[in-house]
Amino acid sequence: MQRTTLTPRSGWQQLVEKQGLIWHTASTENGAKPYWNESACYRFSSIEIDMLEAATAELYRIVMLAGQHVIDNNLFARFGIPEYIVPLIRRAWDEEPPALNHGRFDLGYDGRNPPKLFEYNCDTPTSMLEAAVVQWEWKESVFPNENYKPGNLKDRLFGHAPPAKPPDQFNSLHDKLLAKWKDIAPYLKSRAIHFTHVNDDAAEDTITVSYLRDLAEQAGLTTTGVFTKDIGWNSSTRRFVDLDSRPIDVLFHLYPWEWLVNESFGPHIVDAYDSMHWIEPVWKMILSNKAILAVLWELFPGHPNLLPCYFEPKAEVAANYVKKPLLSREGANITIVKDGKTLAGTEGDYGHEGYVYQAIYDLPDCGGGNRPVLGSWIVDGEPAGMGIREDGLITGNTASFVPHVFS
């Protein structure tokens, strides 16, 4: 794994905007900073990609076993999950309603040792368009494949080396998501789907939902957008409705389950559950909660792809740990403690729900303080590609997305 400096394409801003990435530059205390950063790329060998792909499949296997363990042993209180929603979680887990079943494992990797799991983003994963589409189009533009022809017999006989094959990319996310929409379409309560999210200033949620809507439409479904705050409740029909009072039969929500169930309308989810489909399903409340990291370590201590993690700072992580709220997002309320001293920390609105204490993983510094976190995607149990964000010690909402290739 190597970070290579490149010259950005002329007019790259317009190029990525055409692909839907309308938010490509972040505002920071030090001025504007590219979120989409094609002035560099990460290069991998095929052996490294094979290791990452295998680790992703293995992590999915054990995280599903951990989910079953939580359900079988009624550990919902450790996750801060309200009691009233537990019966629906159990139902959804057993009945397996239609779902994309997609997610992103955030990994630490140094190019030598097995990748380590930081967390599993499977309820509202973002950075999807840039991973699935934008970096692929970048690869096709910067490392074109159309002119490549392998060497012929004459070249080999006379010792002439064939031209170097252009690098590839670990990326099948777009195709797998589209295939999954097509797969679940016949089983949905309606072919008309509502998509909801908050109207975020950075447009991250807007970009992700717009991309997924486009995929759903390519799969032959019809879509309607509605902001979460605009969803209503019809008390006579016991149905959620949109601004035109139309009942919502299928709802894709880029709005976390832990927020949904704690809203004032949360109990209505129980009333409307049998009349609609939720994408993604409510059982993802278990796997997207960082408490699953401590459960994983209880079940699989010493696993090569896991870091020690506990619900309290035990001896193994007493002086060196990362303190993480169970439900935080975008690196909020994270504290890094090394040798008993606070090395870094972030503020935010999380923490009242509890914490886990995960062993420190020293992210490699790939130059200039750039520390990569690898987001390895999974779709219904199949590894689907990778996106890389880089930041300092804590990966926050101003981290840059850097494309990758492999030889």
What's the per-residue H, E or C state across 279-321?
A: ECCCCHHHHCCCHHHHHHHHHCCCCCCCCCEECCCCHHHCCCE
What is the structure's pLDDT at 365?
Answer: 87
CA distances for 19 relative to 87, 135, 392, 404, 406, angstroms: 41, 10, 28, 18, 23
pLDDT at 259 over 80: yes
CA distances for 185 relative to 74, 162, 177, 190, 294, angstroms: 32, 46, 12, 8, 35
What is the structure's pLDDT at 24?
Answer: 87
What is the structure's pLDDT at 289?
Answer: 96
> Mean pLDDT in the chain?
91
Cα 403 to Cα 102: distance, rounded to the nearest angstrom? 21
Could you tell me if 193 and 223 are in contact, meaning their C-beta atoms sit under 8 angstroms apart?
yes
Residue type, position 281, single letter = P
CA distances for 110 relative to 40, 55, 60, 402, angstroms: 17, 14, 21, 16
| Cβ neighbours of 302 (radius 10 Å) | 7
Q: Which residue from 201, 206, 204 is spatially nearest to 226, judged by alpha carbons?
A: 206
Q: What are phi and psi of 190, to 5 degrees?
A: -155, 155
CA atoms lying within 13 Å on the CB side of residue 138: 34
Q: Would you call the peptide bond into 330 cis, given omega within 30 degrees of 0 as the criterion?
A: no
Return the minimum-mean-pLDDT range out of 8-17, 46-55, 147-156: 147-156
Bridge partners, 32 (sequence order) = 27
Confidence at 285, pLDDT banded by 50, 70, 90:
very high
Cα 178 to Cα 138: distance, rounded to the nearest angstrom? 20
Residue type, position 315, single letter = A
Confidence at 146, pLDDT banded by 50, 70, 90:
low
- Which one-letter DSSP state was computed for residue 111? S
Could you tell me if 380 and 368 are in contact, meaning their C-beta atoms sit under 8 angstroms apart?
no
Q: Which residue from 215, 216, 115 is spatially nearest to 170, judged by alpha carbons?
A: 115
Return the minimum-mean-pLDDT range out of 234-248, 268-282, 336-350, 358-372: 336-350
SS3 153: helix
Q: Which residue from 321, 170, 349 is spatially nearest to 262, judged by alpha carbons?
A: 349
pLDDT digits (tens, 9 = 90+) for 64-106: 999 999 999 999 999 999 999 999 999 999 999 999 999 999 9
Cα 121 to Cα 160: distance, rounded to the nearest angstrom? 48
Bridge partners, 240 (sequence order) = 233
Return the minimum-mean-pLDDT range out of 23-32, 235-244, 268-277, 352-361: 23-32
Confidence at 152, pLDDT banded by 50, 70, 90:
low
Could you tell me if 353 and 326 are in contact, meaning their C-beta atoms sit under 8 angstroms apart?
yes
Helix (H) or strand (E) holding 271: helix 268-272
| Whole-prediction pTM | 0.92
Burial status of residue 94 (CB atoms within 10 A of its CB: 0-12, 13-18, 19 or more) = exposed
